[in-house]
Structures are given as structure tokens and as C-alpha cells.
Amino acid sequence: MLLVFGLPLGFSLYLSAEGWSPDETLFGGRYAGLANYAALLTDPDFISSLILTLGYTAITVTAELLLGLGVALLLDLELPLIAFFRTTLIVPMMMTPIVAALCWKLLLDPDHGIVDYFIGHPIIWLGRPWPALISVGFVSVWQNAPFVCILTLAGLRSLPNEPREAAAIDGASVLQTFWHVTLPLLRPYLLVALLLRVIFEFRAFDNVYVMTGGGPANFTLLLSMYTYQASFVQFDLSLGAAASWVMLLIALIACLGFVALIGRRETR
Amino acid sequence: MMARRRSHRRNRLVRAVVAYTALIALLGFFLFPLLWILGLSFKTRLQTFASPPLFIWTPTLHNYVAVLGTGAFQHAFMNSLLISAEAVLLSICVGVPAAYAFARFPFAGRGLLFMSLLVMRMLPPIAVLVPMYVLFSKLGLTETRVSVVLAYTTFSLPLVVWIMRGFFEELPRELEESAWVDGASRYAAFRFVVLPLVRPGLVAASILCLLLAWNDFIFAAVLTNDATRTLPVLMASYSGDVGVDWGSMTASCVLVVLPVLLFSFVAQRHLVAGLSSGAVKG
């Protein structure tokens, strides 16, 4: 296990500190110290990509949590046919992300897309900076809110009923019960969903790749896309490895938060 | 008293109406886009580009016949199938014994090793992909399916260990111990007593590995070539020429997603159990 992961990671650290090109032997590169990192941190594209990714992650995850929680609360009601809704509403989550993005590219097409037909006039969604970014984020929310929904629904259904009933008997309104009783009880589930989604949105790639390719003018160039282009389009693998390590360190912070959370529960 | 009960009942009715309205709106939000794509896949070129869009038409199977007849699609489908199956098999064969060890043998550094396994699963794939690509290409593996299978295994292995450990731990030790007393070897007890009891876990873990491998794009995009490319890579190569052939594009979309959807509907109970045990209960 350590070999499978540790080896590539160690090699990546080595790569990031080398001037290396693919036609050389594995260890044939010249030691370049922190030059690759310096190049990275002075690249305005990288800096804007970093800021963009953090903002994108924050906003999509917030939207996913709110929507997912809302849907979960609805699906928790005991109504006839609710099982049907529970099964069908999570379909987007199962879809291959590439296919989902491709479908939305067709739906958002300015000439023949159904979205613009409903709006009534053609909008060029993917060709202009802000609409493109919003579309890319929207597809991710559409696809992943069901995941948050599943996790919180599982949480809701495992909660004891008594506190909520007691609150209702004491005269609390539906909103008060939700805010002061249900939400605190749900907190561990929401935290898990939050961290998992942060980890996954931070690496967002498929939707950007298919829908905009990072454009227009790098406006949707998220970090994964930046690293991909550096490594496999410009074939500057050393720069790519350096960018990878910056991503790794940021992801690690989120991971450690997650591990701390799980660890605390384990010891209980 | 009567009036109060009546108003209570009216309240419940109002709530149900509000809930159903919201649910149906959500159904539209989450499903209409997919249904529309499904519809497009049954339209001719003329019907697809009709203005205003057609909501009622005579469906045609033409697009499906065309897609299923192309060599590129058949080839990518077989690749996806083989790679996913191999990745699942490998992850289960390695991951299940590892999970059993985590659950039963108290070895030094167990907690730390387990947590680092978890962290590995969470790292961004692109960050692991750069060095992986270099190493695999130097080993001459980028031309074969092996590289992608290994890449998927590294990411699904932690998942298998994570889910299965939970299932193994819930199993009372006495079951195995009584098998040993009856003269079964440690292996026999594992194979004939423990494994059948954790079957739901095995199913959940396999499905999640399968989803991971079938739906992945980024690893396949880098590690496969024309001969080994998988369905998502083929699909992404279409994205450059949107506007050309919507019929075959939508039909292929449906064909890529359908197996996974059918599969997860059939196994949904296991899937939800796996998702929540893997991510929540731990």
C-alpha cells in the first residue's frame, strides 16, 4: 500500500525539484531546487486558478449542502409514494460525470438547447466568463446535491424521534424545532457531507474539461485543469508535479479535518 | 373539539399538498434534463433541430443502431467493461483480507496505517497522476490496460478496506472461535464462516468500486491510448464537435449511463448501506 501510493508521491516530490523532460531517464534530470515552485508561484494563471478554485469550492459546496439538506427533509416525510421520490431523485449522482457534463452542454446550447428555449431568447452560456463559470458550478451542484441528500437522509432516519416530539409538545413551531433540535442532532452527518464535498469539489475536473476546457480566457481554469494542462498539454511534468504538491498540501488540510472528525467518533 | 380536529386535518392536507408540489418541482429539476436527453436520442436529425422543440414525435431507433454499429464504441465499451471488472476483482481480492487484518489483528501502528489509507483515498487524483504517468510510461505500461487497472485499484482499495472493516468488526468473534474449536483452520473459518456473513458488505464494496472505475475520466484520459481507451474518454472526445451529430451523441450518453443506473437500482439497498457505513458509521 505504501509502495503503491508512497512511490509516486515521493517521485513527484523529486520531480517537482528537478528540471526534467520526458525523454530523459528517470533520474536524469538536473537538480533545480525550488525553481519550479518559484515559477509556479509567480505565474499569474496559477494564482488566479488557486483563488478561483477556493471560491468555486466554497460556493458549490454551500449550494450542495443547502439543496441536499432541503431535499432530505422533504424525503424524510411519511407520504404515500415517497419511496418513488427517494429512488428517482438521486439518479444524477449515479451518472458518469463526463456524460452529465456532455448532456448539459447540449441542453445549454445557444441554438438548439432546451434551456434557452424555456428562457425565450438565446444566451451564450459557455462562451462568456461568468455564465460559463456559473454553468460549470451548476452542473456540479445538480449532480452532487443528491449525494448530500443521501447522507443527511440516512442521518435524519437514524435520529431518535423523542426530542422532536417533545419540542412539538412544548409548543415549538416547526421552524424552531428544526433550528434548535433537528439541526444540532444532524450536525455530525452534515460535517461529514461538508468535508467529503470540499475534498471532491476541490479536485473538480470532468465538468470543466468537457464544458469549457478551462476557458473562456482561463476564466474556468480550476486547479486540476491547470495541473492537467501544465503536465499533459505543455508536457512540463516538473511544473505539473509542483502544482500537484500545492494541491496535495491544501487537500491534506481538509483530509486531516476529516480524519480528526472520524477519529473522534471512533474513540467514543 | 370537532373544529380543532378538522383544522388539524386541514393542516395536514395543506402540508401534503405543499410537500408534493415541492417534490414534483424537484423531480423536474433533477430528472427533466435527463428525460430530454433520452428523448433526443430517439429523434431524427430533423426532429432534433426542429424549432420550436418537438415534445411529441414518432420515436426512431436509428441512432442506437448507428452507435452500436461503430467499431470505436464497441471497442471502448469492451475496454470499460474489462477494466472495471479487473479493477473490482483486484481491489476485492487484496482489500478484503487487508480489512480482515485491520479488524482482527492488533498490530503496531494499526490506527495510523488505517488513517493514512483513508487520506490516500481523499487526495486529488491529478496530483497522483503526474508521477504515476511518468513511472508507468518508463515501465512501458501506458500502452496496456494494466496501468489504468492499477490506478483504479489504488483508489478503490482504501474504499474496500474502509467498508469491509466495519462489517468485520460488527461480526462477533465467537463465531470464528467456535469454528476453530470444531477443528477448522483460520483460513477455513474465514472462508466458510466469515465471508458468507459479510456478503452485503462485499456487494456494496464491489458496486462502489465498479462505479468508480466505470465513471472515471481523468485517469483514463491520461493513461489510455487509442487501443485501450474507455467510454468516458470516447465521450469526451465528442465534446469538441457539439452541434454535429446530436443523435449518436445522446444515444451513446444513454448507453454509457444505462448499465450503471440499472445496476444501482437493482442493488440500491446495498449501495445506500455501503455509502452510509463507509462514510458515516465507520
Q: How far is A184 from chain B (nearest CA, A)?
A: 16
Question: Which of the pair, A225 or B127, is modelled with greater confidence?
Answer: A225
Find the mean pLDDT for residues A204-233. Answer: 89
As a whole number, the mean pLDDT across chain A is 83
Asked if A192 and A83 count as a contact pair (C-beta separation under 8 A), the reply is no
| Cross-strand pairs, A18 | A31
| Contact (CB<8Å) B30/A142 | yes
- Kindly determine whether residue B115 and residue A259, on different chains, have CB atoms separated by under 8 Å: yes
- Binary contact (B122, A255; C-beta < 8 A): yes
What does the pLDDT read at residue A145?
94
CA of A222: which chain B residue's CA is closest?
B126
Is there a single domain that holds both residue B142 and residue B253?
yes
The answer to the question of residue B165 being in a domain is yes
Nearest residue to A205 (alpha-carbon basis) of B129, B228, B20 = B129
In this complex, do B214 and A258 lie within 8 Å of one another by their Cβ atoms?
Answer: no
Q: Helical H runs in chain B? A: 2-40, 45-48, 62-69, 71-104, 110-122, 125-138, 145-170, 173-181, 186-189, 195-197, 199-215, 218-223, 231-238, 246-266, 268-276
Query: Is the pLDDT reported for residue A25 higher than 60?
Result: no
Write the CB contacts of B152 (distance below 8 Å, at least 6 apart in sequence): B83, B84, B87, B91, B209, B212, B213, B216, B219
- 8-state DSSP, B245: -
ipTM of the complex model:
0.84
Burial group, residue B17, by CB count within 10 angstroms (0-12, 13-18, 19+)? exposed
Q: Å from A46 to nearest chain B CA? A: 15
Give the per-residue pLDDT at B273. Answer: 60
Q: Is residue B53 part of a domain?
A: no
List the single best residue of A23, A77, A86, A103 to mutate versus B (max B Cβ within 10 A). Answer: A103
DSSP assignment letter at B239? G
Contact A106 B122 (CB under 8 A): no
Give B38→chain A minimum CA distance, Å.
Answer: 10
Asked if residue A240 lies in contact with residue A248, where contact means CB atoms within 8 angstroms, the answer is no
Residue of chain B with shortest Cα separation from A12: B131
Q: Say if residue B250 is in the same domain as residue B124.
A: yes
Residue A263 has pLDDT above 50, yes or no: yes
Cβ distance A74 to B242 less than 8 Å, yes or no, reads: no
Q: Which domain holds residue B113?
A: 64-281
CA distance linking residue A235 with residue A239, whole number of Å:
9
CB-nearest to A98 from B232, B242, B243 is B232
**Contacts (Cβ under 8 Å, ≥6 apart) of B141:** B147, B150
Q: Is B242 on the interface with A (CB under 8 A)?
A: yes
Would you say residue A8 has pLDDT above 80? no
- CB-based contact A73:A156 (threshold 8 Å): yes
- pLDDT digits 0-9 by tens, B92-137: 998 898 888 888 887 777 777 787 777 777 788 888 888 888 888 8
State the cell numbers at A198. Answer: 470540499
Q: What is the DSSP letter of A121?
A: S
The CATH number of the domain where B127 resides is what? 1.10.3720.10
- CA–CA distance, B135 with B236 (Å, rounded to integer): 25
CA distance B119 to A49: 24
Nearest 10 degrees: CA dihedral of B62, B67, B70, B73?
Answer: -170
Per the model's pLDDT, the better-predicted residue between A181 and A5 turns out to be A181
B276 and B142 in a common domain: yes
B122: chain A residues, CB-CB within 8 Å = 199, 251, 254-255, 258
- Same structural domain, B29 and B149: no
- Looking at the structure, tell me whether residues B160 and B234 fall in a common domain: yes
Task: Based on the fold, state whether residues B24 and B161 are members of the same structural domain.
Answer: no
Same domain, B24 and B155: no
pLDDT, residue B175, reads: 82
Q: How far apart are CA A113 and CA B49, in angstroms?
A: 9
Q: With an 8 Å Cβ cutoff, are A102 and B16 in contact? A: no
| Chain A CB within 8 Å of residue B264 CB | yes
Using CB atoms, which residue from A101, A117, A231 is nearest to B130?
A231
Q: What is the largest CA-CA distance in chain B?
A: 83
What pLDDT, on the 0 to 100 scale, is given for residue B4? 63
B10 located within any domain: yes
Contact A87 B268 (CB under 8 A): yes
Shared domain check, B187 and B245: yes
Would B100 be classed as within a structural domain? yes
Mean pLDDT in consecutive groups of 10 residues from the start of chain B, 282 residues: 68 86 92 91 84 82 88 92 94 90 81 78 82 82 85 87 86 84 84 85 87 91 87 85 77 91 76 53 34
The answer to whether the CB atoms of A7 and B135 lie below 8 A apart is yes
Structural contact between residues A101 and A210, judged by C-beta atoms closer than 8 angstroms: yes
* DSSP code at position A232: I
Assess contact for A252 and A86: CB atoms under 8 A.
no
Residue B47, domain member (yes or no): no
CB B52 within 8 A of CB A112: no
d(CA B26, CA A61): 19
Nearest CB neighbour to A107, from listed B36, B127, B265: B36
Same domain, B106 and B21: no
Q: According to the model, what pLDDT value does residue A58 have?
A: 94
Instruction: Check pLDDT > 90 for residue A136.
Output: yes
Same domain flag for B81 and B175: yes
Identity of the residue in A103, A203, A254 whose CB atom sits nearest the CB atom of B125: A203
Q: In whole angstroms, what is the distance from residue A242 CA to residue A115 CA? A: 40
Asked if A74's CB is within 8 angstroms of B23's CB, the reply is yes
- Are B120 and B17 members of one domain? no
Domains of chain A: 56-221 (1.10.3720.10)
CA atoms within 13 A on the CB side of B185: 3
Report pLDDT for B1.
52
pLDDT in tens, A35-93: 777 778 888 889 999 999 999 999 999 999 999 999 999 998 888 888 888 888 888 98
Residue B101 lies in a domain: yes
B46 within some domain: no
The answer to whether B267 faces chain A, any CB pair under 8 Å, is no
pTM of the model: 0.85
B231 lies within 8 A of chain A by CB: yes
The number of distinct structural domains making up chain B is 2
Query: Would you say residue B269 lies in a domain?
Result: yes
Cβ-based contacts under 8 A for chains A and B = 225
Which of A24, A96, A124, A228 to mutate against chain B (most B CBs within 10 Å)?
A: A96
Q: Clarify whether residues B117 and B19 are in a common domain.
A: no
Q: Is the pLDDT of residue A98 over 50?
A: yes
Mark yes or no for CB contact A87/B34 under 8 Å. Answer: no
Calculate how close chain B gets to A150, using CA atoms only, in Å.
8
